Amino acid sequence: MYRRKCYDKLLEWKRDSCGRSALLIEGARRVGKTTLVREFARREYAASIYIDFSVAGRDTLNLFRDGRDDVDTFLRTLQLLYGTKLPERDGLVIFDEVQRFPLAREYVKHLVADGRFDYVETGSLVSIRKNVREIVIPSEEDRLELNPMDFEEYLWACGHDLYAEEVRRAWERLSSLPDAVHAKLMRLFNEYMVVGGMPQSVEAFVEERDFEPCEHVKRRTLRLYLDDIAKFGGVDSRRARAIFQAIPGQLSGASKRFKFSSLGGGARYDSCETALDWLADAHLANLCRLCTDPSVGLMMSEAASSLKCYMVDTGLLVSHAFSDGPESIRVQRDLQLGRISTNRGMLVENVVAQQLRASGHSLFYHAWEKPPVSEGGRPRPREVDFLLTRGFADAAGKPRVCPVEVKSTKSYSTVSLDDFADRYGSRVGNQVVLHPKQLRRDGNRWYLPLYMAHCL
């Protein structure tokens, strides 16, 4: 199994929960949930029982249907069915693909109350309404989101642990790396944007060191997602599919904001809201909402109808965007080598959104209009790509708004960031520019190389 940061969170849950709660791991399909929990069970418990509800037999399903009135009998029968004796407080039961059998999720409440064993659930679509509408969701359930690999995890997977350590060290000291190391890391970051962070894609690339095998994996994954949309999207499946298919074109626009009118049929946010929520709940898209009045507590001034829709994984976005024939592989190689800049801006912004989500941030941006320079002139549009809340050293560590600007080329301006700092004054903490160049500091503004996005 590749090293995943989520493993440490599983250890944290086991230590802090002490059997008082189950853990539900959510994430997109093919993101590595099953591999993670099975390895966790092998390393951290004396014995475990693994139940995959996509293939579970009739006896197992009937036990959950008809044998729930007595927990003691239920657990004894379960161990007999799987031929595994679980030691008390050192045994784990895994409910994999739990969305396929919601009754098992509902019964977690009683199993946790019994207290003998630990319980981990995994699911790709457990938040979708149709999978929970007929059950009581257990309050004794903690949740954990597993995202595609971030850049640091990708470096680990490729055997570049030393580079990962040096990036962390440079971030902690806010010091630049030697030029040759910086150039190598930028090549690796470009490579990561193409390969993406889905474990099977990464594995295919690591084994072959070629984009073609991982491209086949990514295309299979995209087909799987489109099939899921058709199967699970209900009445909104057509709209959800249209939104998913439109993501590359929408992100290639200047503002990258999603224009619902482009879907045709008089589409507006209100008619697309359920489909958008479905894509977010299924972990196929990362939604970035407009924050109208940036301050600590970004969600309090959220304008839900104005948003950007990023793909959950940038490698999948590359395959989704460049899918027009055999030349797509050559385009991907050129992207990795930095030979072309076509649509690079949308890929860089998407990959930063991916890093921020993997670090636990909700996604917000801010846009406004500055008055015209002269009377009768046009207002000047301004936009900051992402807003975070971070402690600010100049305010005794108290949280302040941290605006983040993403630059895909070495030549750029920071007009929007400059105006943002002037406009919101004391609300603003450190300002961040993520760019392809070296790290440098200018007062409270940090210019960070793109490969440090996961550190924020």
User: CA-to-CA distance for 303 and 244, rounded, in angstroms?
Assistant: 21
- Average the pLDDT over 318-325 and give the result: 81
- Average the pLDDT over 398-426 and give the result: 96
Asked whether the beta carbons of 43 and 102 are under 8 A apart, the reply is no
Pull the structure tokens for residue 310: 């990023």
- pLDDT band with cut points at 50, 70 and 90 for residue 267: confident
Q: What is the pLDDT of residues 146-187, one digit of tens each?
A: 999 999 999 999 999 999 999 999 999 999 999 999 999 999
Asked whether the beta carbons of 256 and 349 are under 8 A apart, the reply is yes
Pull the structure tokens for residue 252: 């290639």
- For 94-122, give one letter per residue: b (16+ CB within 10 A) or e: bbbbbbbbbebbbbbeebbeeebbbbbbb
Domain ranges of the chain: 6-145, 151-286+315-342
Q: What confidence score (pLDDT) does residue 343 get?
A: 76
Q: What is the pLDDT of residues 376-385, one digit of tens each?
A: 888 999 999 9
- Average the pLDDT over 40-53 and give the result: 98
Q: What is the pLDDT of residues 271-306, one digit of tens each?
A: 899 999 999 999 999 999 999 999 999 999 999 899
Say which residues have a Cβ less than 8 Å from residue 313's Cβ, sequence separation at least 6. Answer: 28, 148, 196, 197, 198, 354
> Tell me, which fold does domain 6-145 have in CATH?
Rossmann fold (3.40.50)
**Has residue 129 got a pLDDT over 80?**
no
Q: What confidence score (pLDDT) does residue 201 get?
A: 97
For 400, other C-beta atoms within 10 Å of its C-beta total: 23
Pull the structure tokens for residue 278: 């479905």
Phi and psi dihedrals of 338, rounded to 5?
Answer: 70, 25
Q: What is the pLDDT of residues 333-361, one digit of tens each?
A: 666 666 665 678 999 999 999 999 999 99
The H or E element spanning position 381 is strand 380-384
- Average the pLDDT over 393-415 and give the result: 95
pTM for the whole structure: 0.93
Q: What confidence score (pLDDT) does residue 327 get?
A: 60
Number of H helices, E strands in the chain: 16, 14
> Which residue intervals of 322-409 are DSSP H helices?
327-337, 344-358
**Has residue 94 got a pLDDT over 90?**
yes
Pull the structure tokens for residue 413: 């301006």
**Has residue 233 got a pLDDT over 70?**
no
**Has residue 325 got a pLDDT over 90?**
no
Q: What integer best gives the mean pLDDT of the chain? A: 93
User: CA-to-CA distance for 304 and 289, rounded, in angstroms?
Assistant: 6
Pairing of strands 431-435, 399-406: parallel
Nearest to 21 by CA among 29, 30, 12: 12
**Has residue 414 got a pLDDT over 60?**
yes
For 352, other C-beta atoms within 10 Å of its C-beta total: 24
